[in-house]
Structure 1
Amino acid sequence: MSESPRRAPVRAVVIGGSIAGMLAAAAVKEHVDSVEIVEAHELPEGPGPRTGVPQAVHIHFLQSGGAEAIETLLPGTTGLLLAAGAHRVPVTSNMVIYSPEGWYRRWKRATHYVITASRDLTDSVVRGQVLKDHRVGVRTHTRAVALLGGRRRVTGVRVRGVDGTERELRADLVVDASGRASRMPQWLAELGITGLTEDHVDSGLAYASRFFRAPVPTAGWPVVGVQADPRLPRPANAGGILPVEGDRWHVSLMGAPGAHPTGDPDAFEAYARTLRHPVMADLLKHAEPLTDVSVTHSTANRRHHYERLTPWPEGLVVLGDSVAAFNPLYGQGMSAAAQGAVALRDVYAAGPAPGLARRAQRAIGTCVDTAWTLAVGTDIHFPTTTGRTPTVADRLLHRYVSRLSRTATGSFHAATALTDVLALQAAPASLVRPGVLLTALVGPLRPRPDRPQFTPAERGLLRELEEADGSAR
């Protein structure tokens, strides 16, 4: 009896060692024989800073939709994050948030949660989970410079080492997860694929962030935030305090043109006092700064519509910030990338078939839709925004969502409808279901809270801090 011919190994190459790149590797590793991640920089051992990720110095959190997506790809990741000091914060039960419509009510029932941790820790835990699989390897200090193949099929990538030497990496699947700096539009044009459309909406927001030693126990301490109100006749600004590992607070302040925060450490608390409410400044005066202030102006929303391109080559998928990068104000980037990776896995689980990469790209585009709608649908209402102006329909929808948000301060049903969408677990269209429309029409069933919603125990800790500071003076 003659032996059947041996199947050639199936190989995937992932461009970028970002969290999106790691999740891409996790998504496809069950369907190929090997995955090689090509990374331009060194990857740290443990939760250290990674070169090429300037946004890591600003606050990050995983929405429950993103955390659950990561858990399906890498079971046990949430537990490892929590064991390393991350926090699981119920929404909105453990949040002190001042929205344009008023203070969020801290409902006793929580329908969603966020995982708060430094970006370095989240990257490290995900990276460790992925790289413990023998099928996944990393080629560091190597930059992808071109695609191999043609209009109908991509067959690998050309890479360049630090010494300038170039070589070809052949692959049955190439996933671009190289982030905002992706050169995919140029690479496709070199293959003769043109007509790519791009949306670019920029509110002009700048970020200033630093870490503090928390003056209170961080276990169970709420997320604190003051949101911007586009209706006010002044440049928008906002801020947030997240409890993270190491008994620290990670604090970010954001401001539009005319109200940009600076890198001056002496001005950090003072800037927090210019927000719509001084709650953050009142907390920061008790906290010990641990780092300098880091500033970034790269906060534009940008989306490439790869899912619309025809033809789309077999063997190529684009994921994460390479597809769509969001204003970090809304905390959706990691979660959207994780959901895109799950979509990639699910498409490839169906087995090889013509048009597989195109179906995966369309599924990833669908995952991006909700986060894109939320970010852009808010940013277009700031007067400093460029790239798109609100239509009459946009203004009507904004007024409706504002009414629903005001209702949510005194209606659990309204609050749940909103958080379903914000957690990336329901589409924005769910906000206009008949039951939600009726809830918004009725309005809040309880009076709106008139002050920060700290619990009695939290207020007791804050009084102790005030008394200790008074005694020290």
Structure 2
Amino acid sequence: MTALPSASARVVVLGGGLAGTLAAAALAPHVREVLIVEQDAVLPETPAPRPRLPQAAHAHMLWAGGADAMEELLPGVTEEWLAAGAHRVPIPHGMVSFSPAGWYRRSWPDTHYLIGAGRDLIDWVVRTRVLRLPNVRVRTGAKVCGLAGNAARVSGVVLRDAQDARHIVAADLVVDATGRGSKSTRWLRDIGGPRVRETVVDAGVRYASRRYRAPQGAETDWPVIHIPADPRQGGPGLVATIISIENGQWHVSLSGTRGGEPSAAEDLFEEFAGRVRHPLVAELLSRAEPVSEVSLYTRTANRRRHFEQADLPEGFIALGDAATSLNPVYGHGMSAAALGAVALRDLTRRTSVFAPGYASKAQRAIGRPAAAAWLLAVGQDRFYPGAVGRKPTLVDRLGARYIHRLNHTAIGHGLVVRKLTDVMTLRRPAHVLGLPDVLLAAARGPRMPLLDGPQLTPREREVLDRPPLRSTGAPAARPGTSGRRDLPPAGRVREA
């Protein structure tokens, strides 16, 4: 039997979060040993919060593209999530979404899905699976201080332990998966390496999130409720999302761009939900009981470190947020990391980590799915007031107009719904939106009239028909709408 090209290699992965454990899963079958270095003193043995993962307090969408990639790396991981209480939410039936062009229909055949679960649960299941691999081990309580090596090759990492002692851990490959706070651009310069160019687009998004006990009858088989912003309105972009997670709870995240940020005050949480483009989320929250405090998160800038363009030393690559961190409102961070890990695995199957050029090839492969997610995020964030970064060009504006036309067409065109969902779930690259059949559909427009309101099932409407437990702070309802604004009895339609 032919030996694996990297069978004698030792890999050190920096960071025990999702990107780090997925990198370990990708590389472990092809190398001698994978050591995960984690700064936290203890990694939870249950789906519990980690001190160095504050974003876990906010709702996460694990889109089909990312979940498929994790299943490919760790067969059976989806069943483990579901057994632990996660939900497999079908799309489009399981999503109530008010696009800038109108309400999406839910009656098309289901073609995609997402996993509804708390981030702690998603990470815990993946971490547990990876640490069962015979050649993967983890070292906790160790802080990375820098890289060992020179401009030609990274040969290891410099660690500082709990006693403040420093020592070098040798490695044939170092993977930086330390997240948004990565210091590897500085570490590379410290050993004579290249200066890595960065691009930042920051709409000033602030997140406020809270968990609720789902109303009776709404604990399972409940759709994602998503009211996104419309950057064409010219003001701050306000977003409200409900995702069903484990333990019969709803994870609710509200966000606003610069000038429209949500507050940490509990009495203002539902009032903010009532100010987004439609009050459906606020109305549902008024019929549920909060079970947590409000958590804030502000590190939401889109930041791309262009490692793929730098003359990197051999033996070093970066994955996940350490390379490309995204505004979390689009839910692409986990999926981009997972797809990057699959690309890393595929390269390592056929190319030795010792081969000249391996690091550059790996970085380019990792960067492709991240670049696709980057374009989706910055293509919208650039249009918000006060956004930091390059201002929208004519090409950006034409692209935004085309996407709006696609959203308008998708209200009543199944093909366009599938193509948009392919791209949003990261199953297909964005160029599919420019294929001839999609262009023709966009030119013709929707085949069906627009909806007056969300398509809700009788069970979902029954929850809304219950007396609210609290005032929502939402705009006053029209007469004859059972106390709800713009919620028609049976998904009426209006002409486009």
- With the shorter chain as reference, the TM-score category is over 0.9
The question of 1:366 aligning with 2:368 is answered yes
Moved over 2 A (4+): 7-10, 460-463, 465-470
Q: State how far apart, in whole Å, the 2-side matches of 1:31 and 1:97 are.
A: 42
The residue that corresponds to 1:4 in the other structure is none
Change in Cα spacing, 1:386 to 1:288, as seen in structure 2 (3 Å) is: same
Query: How far 1:460 moved relative to its partner?
Result: 2.7
The question of 1:134 aligning with 2:134 is answered yes
The residue that corresponds to 1:3 in the other structure is none
SS in structure 2 at match of 1:430: helix
In terms of mean alpha carbon deviation, does 103-112 or 19-28 score higher? Answer: 103-112
Query: How far 1:8 moved relative to its partner?
Result: 9.3
Q: State how far apart, in whole Å, the 2-side matches of 1:200 and 1:437 are.
A: 31
Show CA shifts across 1:219-239 (max 9, x none): 211000111011214322111
Q: Is the 8 A contact 2:156 2:171 kept in 1?
A: yes
The residue that corresponds to 2:89 in the other structure is 89
SS in structure 2 at match of 1:29: helix
Query: How far 1:9 moved relative to its partner?
Result: 4.4
What are the equivalent positions in structure 2 for 1:298-309 lying under 5 Å apart? Answer: 298-309=299-310
Q: State how far apart, in whole Å, the 2-side matches of 1:115 and 1:133 are.
A: 24
Change in Cα spacing, 1:370 to 1:8, as seen in structure 2 (3 Å) is: closer
The residue that corresponds to 2:398 in the other structure is 396
What are the equivalent positions in structure 2 for 1:105-254 lying under 5 Å apart? Answer: 105-215=105-215, 216-254=217-255
Q: State how far apart, in whole Å, the 2-side matches of 1:325 and 1:268 are.
A: 26
Change in Cα spacing, 1:190 to 1:285, as seen in structure 2 (3 Å) is: same
Q: State how far apart, in whole Å, the 2-side matches of 1:56 and 1:351 are.
A: 35
SS in structure 2 at match of 1:200: strand
Q: Is the 8 A contact 1:221 1:243 kept in 2?
A: yes
The residue that corresponds to 2:323 in the other structure is 323
Query: How far 1:73 moved relative to its partner?
Result: 0.6
The question of 1:99 aligning with 2:99 is answered yes
The residue that corresponds to 2:25 in the other structure is 26
Query: What are structure 1's unaligned runs of at least 5 residues?
Result: 1-6
Change in Cα spacing, 1:113 to 1:44, as seen in structure 2 (3 Å) is: same
Amino acid of the structure 2 residue aligned with 1:440: A
Query: How far 1:31 moved relative to its partner?
Result: 1.3
Q: State how far apart, in whole Å, the 1-side matches of 2:128 and 2:23 are.
A: 14
Query: How far 1:102 moved relative to its partner?
Result: 0.7
Q: State how far apart, in whole Å, the 1-side matches of 2:115 and 2:451 are.
A: 26
Show CA shifts across 1:359-401 (max 9, x none): 1111011121110010011111112211121100110110011
Change in Cα spacing, 1:53 to 1:467, as seen in structure 2 (3 Å) is: closer
The question of 1:17 aligning with 2:16 is answered yes
Query: How far 1:457 moved relative to its partner?
Result: 2.9
Amino acid of the structure 1 residue aligned with 2:298: H
Query: How far 1:469 moved relative to its partner?
Result: 9.1
Amino acid of the structure 2 residue aligned with 1:56: A
The residue that corresponds to 2:482 in the other structure is none
Amino acid of the structure 2 residue aligned with 1:77: V
What are the equivalent positions in structure 2 for 1:15-94 lying under 5 Å apart? Answer: 15-41=14-40, 42-94=42-94
Amino acid of the structure 2 residue aligned with 1:401: I
Q: Is the 8 A contact 1:263 1:295 kept in 2?
A: yes
Q: State how far apart, in whole Å, the 1-side matches of 2:257 and 2:459 are.
A: 35
Kindly, what percent of the aligned residue pairs are identical? 49
Q: Is the 8 A contact 2:7 2:30 kept in 1?
A: no
Amino acid of the structure 2 residue aligned with 1:354: P
Q: State how far apart, in whole Å, the 1-side matches of 2:187 and 2:445 are.
A: 52
What are the equivalent positions in structure 2 for 1:280-291 lying under 5 Å apart? Answer: 280-291=281-292
Query: How far 1:269 moved relative to its partner?
Result: 0.8
Q: From 381, 384, 401, give the equivalent of 2:383.
A: 381
Q: Is the 8 A contact 2:96 2:104 kept in 1?
A: yes
Q: From 439, 449, 452, give the equivalent of 1:450.
A: 452
The residue that corresponds to 1:297 in the other structure is 298
TM normalised by structure 1 equals: 0.95
SS in structure 2 at match of 1:231: helix
Query: How far 1:109 moved relative to its partner?
Result: 0.7
Amino acid of the structure 1 residue aligned with 2:361: R
Q: Is the 8 A contact 1:107 1:412 kept in 2?
A: no
Query: How far 1:108 moved relative to its partner?
Result: 3.5
**How many pairs are equivalent?**
462
SS in structure 2 at match of 1:203: coil
TM normalised by structure 2 equals: 0.91
Query: How far 1:414 moved relative to its partner?
Result: 0.9
Query: How far 1:412 moved relative to its partner?
Result: 0.5
The residue that corresponds to 2:481 in the other structure is none
Q: State how far apart, in whole Å, the 1-side matches of 2:121 and 2:10 are.
A: 29
The residue that corresponds to 2:494 in the other structure is none
Query: How far 1:99 moved relative to its partner?
Result: 1.1
Change in Cα spacing, 1:307 to 1:330, as seen in structure 2 (3 Å) is: same
The question of 1:422 aligning with 2:424 is answered yes
Query: How far 1:468 moved relative to its partner?
Result: 9.2
Q: State how far apart, in whole Å, the 1-side matches of 2:140 and 2:182 are.
A: 17
Amino acid of the structure 2 residue aligned with 1:164: D
Q: State how far apart, in whole Å, the 1-side matches of 2:145 and 2:280 are.
A: 48
The residue that corresponds to 2:489 in the other structure is none
